Amino acid sequence: ILEEGTGGIIVFGVCHSTVNPNCDILLEVKKSGIPIVMVDTFLPNLNLDHVVSADFDGGYAIAEHFIKLGHHEIGYVCSPDKVTSIEARRVGFQKAMADNELLVRSKYILFIKDLPNHSDFTSEQYNSLLGSIKNLQGDLPTVFLCSNDRVAFFLYKVLIETGVKVPEQVVI
């Protein structure tokens, strides 16, 4: 790209970890003068233009909605990846809980490691989430918020497998 020339680069869905191998590549491209715009995430350690959703506000608003409906035991399911959009949604959820003087119970924060970029989850991921849900049986939150729709669908499948009625027992 640097040798052949280009008008600009749009980057989508990059983890923001400082050890991300994309950082070096993006820094080299930036130094070359080629414009870069990141979409749906950004790398805090690089000063690149970016376009993001109001992820914090979304996490806050959905938590606030369920709190106003009377839910006080709310969980969150996400990837542990350092993706700014996922982190912002989780932080928004946590802020809404704090603003309403509700405890975020760590056992209700569930992580799905190494989320794929498609709808298929590995048996290891499935069994891990299944184990987490089974460990919570009898003490499930009334709502699970999810970092995205793929995670919500995956959680739905696991809850159904364990005999949890959605949305009667747990809302997603």
Alpha carbon distance 32, 26 (integer Å):
10
pLDDT of res. 42: 80
User: Cα angle vertex 26, ends 43, 119, to 5°?
Assistant: 65
Per-residue pLDDT tens digits for 35-86: 999 888 887 778 889 898 999 999 999 999 999 999 999 999 987 767 788 8
- For 34, 37, 160, the CA distances from 4, given in Å and listed in that order, are 12, 19, 52
Scanning the structure block, which residue is given the tokens 């709808």? Answer: 119
> Length of the chain, please?
172
Q: Which amino acid is at 26?
A: L
Mind spelling out the 3-state secondary structure of the chain? CCCCCCCCEEEECCCCCCCCHHHHHHHHHHHHCCCEEEECCCCCCCCCEEECCCHHHHHHHHHHHHHHCCCCCEEEEECCCCCHHHHHHHHHHHHHHHHCCCCCCHHHEEECCCCCCCCCCCHHHHHHHHHHHHHHCCCCCCEEEECCHHHHHHHHHHHHHCCCCCCCCCEC
pLDDT of res. 162: 93
pLDDT of res. 20: 64
Q: What is the pTM of this model?
A: 0.81
> 133 phi and psi, to 5 degrees?
-70, -40
Provide the 10 A C-beta neighbour count for residue 119.
9
pLDDT greater than 60 at residue 31: yes
- Strands 9-12 and 74-78, how do they pair? unpaired
Mean per-residue pLDDT over the chain, rounded: 87
The average pLDDT across 90-98 equals 97
Answer with the residue of higher pLDDT: 41 or 138. Answer: 138
